[in-house]
Amino acid sequence: MVDVLLGLQWGDEGKGKIVDYFAGKYDVIARFQGGPNAGHTLYVNGQKVVLHTIPSGVFHTNTLNLIGNGVVLDPVTFKKECEKVSALGIDLGKNLFIAEKTHIIVPSHRALDKASELSKGQEKIGSTLKGIGPAYMDKTGRNGLRVGDVLNPDFQASYEKLKTKHLQLLANYNFSEDIAEWEAEFWDAVEFLRKMNIVRGEYWLNEHLKAGKKVLAEGAQGSMLDVDFGTYPFVTSSNTISAGVCTGLGLAPKWIREVIGVTKAYCTRVGGGPFPTELEDETGEKLRQAGHEFGATTGRPRRCGWIDLVALDYTCMLSGVTQLVMTKSDVLDEFPTVQACTAYEIDGQQTNEMPFNICGVPIKPVLQSFPGWSEPTAKSNSYNTLPVEMKNFLSFVESYLGVPVQYVSNGPGRDQILEK
């Protein structure tokens, strides 16, 4: 069967560590969507490692890893990432596979991303300018290049055709970018890519399932950034909810068993867009510093706020979440009072539902307060030994969402996870 692990907020929930924790129980880890703007942070032998495209099970030698067709892959970023992982003693020739239908980010995609974002002015999305959005646009526009294409002898001609189209679009923006240096890196990385294990992903994965193998599908970004159900237009370009697993890997829904949702004990968001529980004060800054809330990929400071149970309930519903993992619980150790948003107040009326256009309405979060805990949660070596105040907070979250908090991460370490 296939278990799914995905983020339930605006990304940065700590999914990489959680996938790494679970990976040993699975035969295959498969990444089903997103691009290299994802930064999944792991600590391997005390060393911090940030993965952008490679699935987070790569450091488990008996686990196979698949980059699925729902991902967009930048060959340059991918090559650099492979070199870092290989330097840690991992043989990627044995445990990393790429679906041939995975779309490719080309240098001119990055230029288009930059031109598009600049044209928006104050309404910019907060793109990481890595070419991800334009690559997905070419995918749906039926112009894209895929990993399998690099094996064709006429790949360069296909590339030049797409590049010409992009240069015409850039002219419409009155924008130019010298991509010659990017192209040199790109072609070097394409040669590297050609030597990787490129497979017919949908058949490869289904064959493993029929053989009784256990698969963990790994998502990137967060559910509130889903292109259909997130805070549109401040969203990513793919489906980040569990529905994206089937199209992003070529799996039938019948294979999906558990849906494991990851949430922080509070909320963060990077870039523009609405954030009902955002704290633009000393408390928000305290959360940022205590949680080291700076982007793993970009280094950008993350916006911080209290946990939003309205949004969490919404994303649990959309993905059919069966169990929760709460990360960064230890960050709240420093707060004498902890709060949670239990409803939105819009035009004087309270609601527990996500509005159609969360960007277009002033939302006042209805907050419920809970006593903080006076002892460090990192000292707890089991769920039962967590501070009673924290267990009360967790029980309230479970009751509100109707989903059990099955795991609590109480520190950054690889093994600092407590199972209920």
Is 187's pLDDT higher than 90? yes
Q: Is the pLDDT of residue 15 over 90?
A: no
Q: Find out whether 32 and 58 touch, Cβ atoms under 8 Å.
A: no
pTM of the model: 0.92
pLDDT digits (tens, 9 = 90+) for 129-154: 788 989 999 999 999 999 999 999 99
Q: Is the pLDDT of residue 213 over 90?
A: yes
With a cut of 90, say whether residue 164 has pLDDT above it.
yes
User: What is the mean predicted confidence (pLDDT) over 250-259?
Assistant: 97
pLDDT at 123: 64
Give the mean pLDDT of 284-311. Answer: 89
**Least confident range of 288-297, 298-307, 374-383:** 288-297
pLDDT of residue 41: 75
Q: For residues 39 and 76, which has the higher predicted lDDT (pLDDT)?
A: 76
Distances in Å between the Cα of 16 and the Cα atoms of 13, 78, 232, 279 are: 9, 17, 25, 26
- Determine contact, residues 323/404, Cβ cutoff 8 Å: yes
Distance between CA atoms of residues 314 and 63, nearest Å: 33
**Which residue among the candidates 3, 20, 40, 333 is catalytic per the annotation?**
40
> Which residue, among 276, 270, 342, 347, has the nearest Cα to 303 in the 3D structure?
270
**pLDDT tens per residue, range 16-50:** 889 888 988 999 999 999 998 767 777 777 778 88
How crowded is residue 404: how many other Cβ atoms within 10 Å of its Cβ?
14
Q: State the pLDDT at residue 134.
A: 92
Residue 122 binned pLDDT confidence (cut-offs 50, 70, 90): low
> Would residue 208 show up in a list of annotated catalytic residues for this protein?
no
Let me know if 40 is a catalytic residue.
yes
How far the first Cα of the chain sits from its last, in Å, is: 23
For residue 218, pLDDT over 90 is answered with: yes
Please state, rounded to an integer, the average pLDDT across all residues of the chain: 92
Mind listing the pLDDT tens digit for each residue in 327-348?
A: 999 999 989 999 999 999 999 9
